[in-house]
Chains A and B, each alone.
Chain A
Amino acid sequence: MTTRVHIGLPVPPRNHPALLRGRGRFVDDLPFPGARHVAVLRSPVAHGRVTAFDATAARADPRCLLVLGPADVAELTDPIPLAWLLPDQRLDHVELAVDVVRYAGQPIGLVVATDRAAAEDVAELVDVRVEPLPAVASTAAALAPGAPRLHAEAEGNVVGRTHFGTPRDRLDEAFAEAHLVVEREFGIQRVSHSPLEPRGLVAEWEPGPGLLTVHASTQSPHAVRQELAAVLRLRADRVRVVARDVGGSFGGKVALHADEALVCLAAVVLGGQVKWVEDRVENLTAAYQGRGQRTRARLAVAADGRFLALHADVVGDLGAFAVQAGSGPLQVTALTIEGPYRFPAAGGTVTAVCTNLVPVGAYRGYGMQESTFIRERLVDEAARELGVDPVALRLRNMVEPGDMPYTTCTGLVYDSGDYSAALRSAARRVAPPSSAGPVRRGSAVTATVEMSGFAPSALIRQFDIAWAGWEGVRLVVNHDGTVTVHAGVTAVGQGIETSLAQIAADGLGVPLRWVDVRLGDTATAPHSDLASQASRALVLAGGALLRAAARLRARVLGLAARALDVPEADVVLDVPADVEPGSPEAVFRGASGVISWRELAHRAWRGWHRPEGVERIRLEENVDFDPPAITFAHGAHGAAVAVDVDTGVVTVEDYWTVHDNGVLVNPLVAEGQVVGGVAQGIGLALFEEVRHDPDTAEPLSTTFREYPLPAARDVPRVDVRHLCTPSPANPGGFKGLGEGGAIPPAATIACAVAAAVPEIAEVLTATPMTPERVWAALREAGIEGSPQWTER
């Protein structure tokens, strides 16, 4: 049993002092003075055929070191294989060698030159001709009769379909009998992850041993390594990927992108170091994006307020092609549509559509933001139409602790939690606001369930996903007594390195600063495909680490007992809180005397004191943790908003959160994750939107001027509370919390706007709720703004 000393303490992240000194090691900060620089050649149009690629003039520039075009790429690479397909999906790879471009910004080739500015100069000399084809700028356009067909493998531009939960005919029956059916069409826009550090990598090829080392800003170095090996036709053991400091990711850095593979190809062709750091325009126009769906959904309610059925018909925009987990977020929207409520019948239907827009990948919340928005808006609308309190309606239908484990219609098994308690807690704190003048105020609370700790190998196999779901750690007590944690999960600013150190320290019973945590280097990190995504790093690596620490602690105590020649039960580890690992005060005590921690560690590495017949010497433990089940976090959010009916401006004035993330390892990190997630949710709710020209499908959001991120003035103080129902699905009782903050804000804010201005509640079904759109809805509803002012 682990004694909690550091677990639960608000320990400041251990890498922060270095970051605050300007000593971060982001990709572009790494000292590679000899690196050559890449400019990526990108398609200027959203759909077209590459008819010519002439680099003669470019190659004549003395600063030009290499030009790669489609023919070179075709000769030297294989496509990137996909990992998660829909049952009938025939598009199963990402093309690197492009003869037909399918989005503006798609990489066609690259130029390597002496520095970045020179590379951009030389890139302008490459004569790339693209013969434009008609472009498709939305799923509606893609599905329209006679729409241009993007892929031979996607008839009607449908990449694949699936359905989860109650069969459709039974759903239709349930709706037919209902007292009330609320049906709406929901729109969730495309968003950009926009980490402050864009993507980037330095690839180094050593031709002698044939080794490729890639320093990358990535969440998933092992996955990138495997994909690179496949693409570049290299042995897996000849590729090493290293992620140092990562300046935010949010799902945008989980998958190898085609341009990143081309940069590594350039290194292999040239030898030595080649560097590419994405600029902001590229990040906004070429890096994979998030969300993007139109969903028709309906909720059936009995006269007494019982929920009878829920169905979401999700039409998702994959963009130009399916990426590695292409339809994953859409499938998760369907799977999680029920949320915290009981439904006799519920299901989700998914249609994945390709368009001539930037491909869509993972984004924080991964389909659950979408399902929460759809469901919570429907529930609020049902309450409005029934004339009942929306909180009461929610409580009436909630899955209760006594129902656990609870299996949803779509087959998810909720493990634990008190959903009603979270909702009540949030509802108690949300004060009913008052309206004044042209400003109307309203508040609302919503509830959600968050899938975390993805995923058991058996479940991964059931979905035929080509990734490992388990997570491994290696915990080492070094010969000098210091402790090192190696894990496959990665630090991307979320603080996992600190949480793991806290767990290791408590698991071994040693001071926190004895522990160092090494992440992100495939040469030393245990295998991990999913690494830090899907709110799983702490749940799975933390679970593995607790087990590793318990085993290593038992071994160390056994060694100490033999060194001291006393029974194991009589050995006590006595470490004052503030001593170093080499201190003579850090000792094992037995009746016969003491031996210092450091001395014991040193002897252990010499092979001394081990029991008869035991071969194992290294003072380290490797543990792989394959969780028995997904664990579900949950929460409730409350928002108070002001709506200026003259201008349509929505201001979030107060925000409250209640989350149950099981056992919290570091409350500081937990609060930071929640508040940061809420800010992203506010951006999505009110103004973030990747826009494209509706005819040409060319990007209109190319800088932060057209894609504004939330600033301090947009985010109120967020009140953060936590409940704690330990998860039964892992040794630490942990539940994930990386995404929970980002999931409910759009739903909560939309419901609060609906409360402020019920006249437009029915049409609050799409985000972002920009001033112009809210104003248009207000005028449409006949709300004319300030009475002193008359229309012309």
Chain B
Amino acid sequence: MNGTARTARAEPRTSLGEHLRTALGLTGTHLGCEQGDCGACAVLLDGEPVCSCLVLAVQADGCRVETVESLARGDDLGPAQRALLEEHGLQCGFCTPGLLMRMTHARRTGAPASDVLGGHLCRCTGYGGLRAAVERHCAVEARKEDQP
């Protein structure tokens, strides 16, 4: 769980998203529809983006899970967070955590910006700043920053 082994019990019917929020106290991941339609709950499961509302918590037993809480390094925001902050890519911020995980995954894997926005609903921004942030974040030039 964000780089640390965590143990917590879950009922079989509990979704991964709800389990993160309740048993593990990681409330950054938000449940917007519990139908896989809005993307707010996206997390990385073994490095791949999933809707945490559509994965049972028990299915994540033994898996690596990464959430929004893993993205900043101390006081410094991560690159996806910086891009959204600087491009005004959020307003209420409820949908943002899922999008951040998709952006993070896209930059790791080289996926294009156009791949990222699909499946994420934002009711506030009209996608203006959000689109600019994702494009900037996924640009080839930006990715070079990630090279050690």
Contact pick for A247, options B72, B94, B118, B130, CB 8 Å: B94
Is B88 on the interface with A (CB-CB < 8 A)?
yes
Is A182 on the interface with B (CB-CB < 8 A)?
no
> Contact between B127 and A679 (Cβ–Cβ < 8 Å)?
yes
> Contact between B90 and A196 (Cβ–Cβ < 8 Å)?
no
> Contact between B34 and A279 (Cβ–Cβ < 8 Å)?
yes
Q: With A12-B85, A711-B121 given, is the CB distance from A196 to B129 under 8 Å?
A: no
Query: Which one of A18-26, A42-50, A325-333 is at the interface?
Result: A18-26
> Contact between B125 and A703 (Cβ–Cβ < 8 Å)?
no
> Contact between B122 and A196 (Cβ–Cβ < 8 Å)?
yes
Contact pick for B126, options A20, A703, A715, CB 8 Å: A715
Contact pick for B33, options A23, A247, A280, A676, CB 8 Å: A280
Is B106 on the interface with A (CB-CB < 8 A)?
no
Which residues between 107 and 148 of chain B lie within 8 Å of chain A, taking CB atoms?
A: 117-131
> Contact between B27 and A29 (Cβ–Cβ < 8 Å)?
yes
- A31 / chain B contacts, CB cutoff of 8 Å: 25
> Contact between B21 and A28 (Cβ–Cβ < 8 Å)?
yes
CA distance A16 to B30 in the complex (A): 16
Nearest opposing residue in chain A for B88, CB measure: A668
Query: Which one of A145-153, A444-452, A490-498 is at the interface?
Result: A490-498
> Contact between A704 and B21 (Cβ–Cβ < 8 Å)?
no
> Contact between A495 and B33 (Cβ–Cβ < 8 Å)?
no
Is B46 on the interface with A (CB-CB < 8 A)?
no
> Contact between A24 and B37 (Cβ–Cβ < 8 Å)?
no
> Contact between B68 and A196 (Cβ–Cβ < 8 Å)?
no
> Contact between B94 and A197 (Cβ–Cβ < 8 Å)?
yes
Is B57 on the interface with A (CB-CB < 8 A)?
no
- A22 / chain B contacts, CB cutoff of 8 Å: 26-29, 67-69, 71, 97
Q: With A672-B128, A677-B126, A703-B35 given, is the CB distance from A711 to B85 under 8 Å?
A: no
Query: Mostly helix, strand, loop or mixed at chain B's interface?
Result: loop
CA distance A672 to B35 in the complex (A): 28
Contact pick for B32, options A17, A280, A715, CB 8 Å: A280
> Contact between B88 and A672 (Cβ–Cβ < 8 Å)?
yes
Contact pick for A709, options B25, B121, B128, CB 8 Å: B121
Interface size class of A (residues with CB under 8 A): 35 or more
Which residues between 470 and 507 of chain A lie within 8 Å of chain B, taking CB atoms?
A: 492-495
Is B40 on the interface with A (CB-CB < 8 A)?
yes
Contact pick for A117, options B11, B90, B94, CB 8 Å: B11
Question: Which of A13, A22, A494 counts the most chain B CB atoms within 10 A?
Answer: A22
Is B6 on the interface with A (CB-CB < 8 A)?
no
Which residues between 46 and 95 of chain A lie within 8 Å of chain B, taking CB atoms?
A: none
CA distance A667 to B81 in the complex (A): 21
> Contact between A248 and B128 (Cβ–Cβ < 8 Å)?
no
- B51 / chain A contacts, CB cutoff of 8 Å: none
Q: With A12-B88, A21-B72, A704-B33 given, is the CB distance from A679 to B77 under 8 Å?
A: no
> Contact between B32 and A717 (Cβ–Cβ < 8 Å)?
no
> Contact between A196 and B95 (Cβ–Cβ < 8 Å)?
yes
Is B62 on the interface with A (CB-CB < 8 A)?
no
> Contact between B92 and A195 (Cβ–Cβ < 8 Å)?
yes
Give min CB distance, B21 to chain A, whole Å: 7
CA distance A491 to B135 in the complex (A): 28
- B92 / chain A contacts, CB cutoff of 8 Å: 19, 195-197, 245-248, 492-493
Q: With A20-B77, A22-B97 given, is the CB distance from A672 to B124 under 8 Å?
A: yes
- B96 / chain A contacts, CB cutoff of 8 Å: 19-20
Is A194 on the interface with B (CB-CB < 8 A)?
yes
> Contact between A493 and B124 (Cβ–Cβ < 8 Å)?
yes
B64-102 interface code vs A (CB 8 A; 1 in, 0 out): 000111011000010001001110101111111100100
Nearest opposing residue in chain B for A283, CB measure: B33
Is A545 on the interface with B (CB-CB < 8 A)?
no
> Contact between A676 and B93 (Cβ–Cβ < 8 Å)?
no
- B81 / chain A contacts, CB cutoff of 8 Å: 17, 20-21
CA distance A668 to B21 in the complex (A): 32
Contact pick for A676, options B11, B32, B34, B125, CB 8 Å: B125
Is B16 on the interface with A (CB-CB < 8 A)?
no
- B85 / chain A contacts, CB cutoff of 8 Å: 12, 16-17, 20
> Contact between B38 and A196 (Cβ–Cβ < 8 Å)?
yes
- B93 / chain A contacts, CB cutoff of 8 Å: 15-16, 19-20, 24, 245, 247, 493
CA distance A28 to B31 in the complex (A): 10
Contact pick for B91, options A672, A709, A711, CB 8 Å: A672
> Contact between B90 and A715 (Cβ–Cβ < 8 Å)?
no
- B31 / chain A contacts, CB cutoff of 8 Å: 28
Is A792 on the interface with B (CB-CB < 8 A)?
no
CA distance A280 to B97 in the complex (A): 18
> Contact between A705 and B128 (Cβ–Cβ < 8 Å)?
no
- B27 / chain A contacts, CB cutoff of 8 Å: 22, 24, 28-29
Which residues of B come within 8 Å of A, CB atoms?
11, 13-14, 21, 25-35, 37-38, 40, 67-69, 71-72, 77, 81, 84-86, 88, 90-97, 100, 117-131
**A-B CB contact pairs (8 Å), 5 listed:** A17-B81, A17-B85, A24-B94, A245-B93, A709-B121
Listed from nearest, the 7 A-B pairs whose CB atoms lie closest are: A22-B28, A493-B92, A19-B93, A247-B94, A679-B126, A22-B68, A675-B126
Which residues of A come within 8 Å of B, CB atoms?
10, 12-13, 15-17, 19-24, 26, 28-29, 31, 117, 194-197, 245-248, 250, 279-280, 492-495, 668, 671-672, 675-680, 703-705, 709-713, 715, 717-718, 741
5 more A-B contacts (CB under 8 A) besides A13-B88, A16-B84, A197-B94? A19-B93, A196-B32, A250-B123, A493-B124, A671-B88
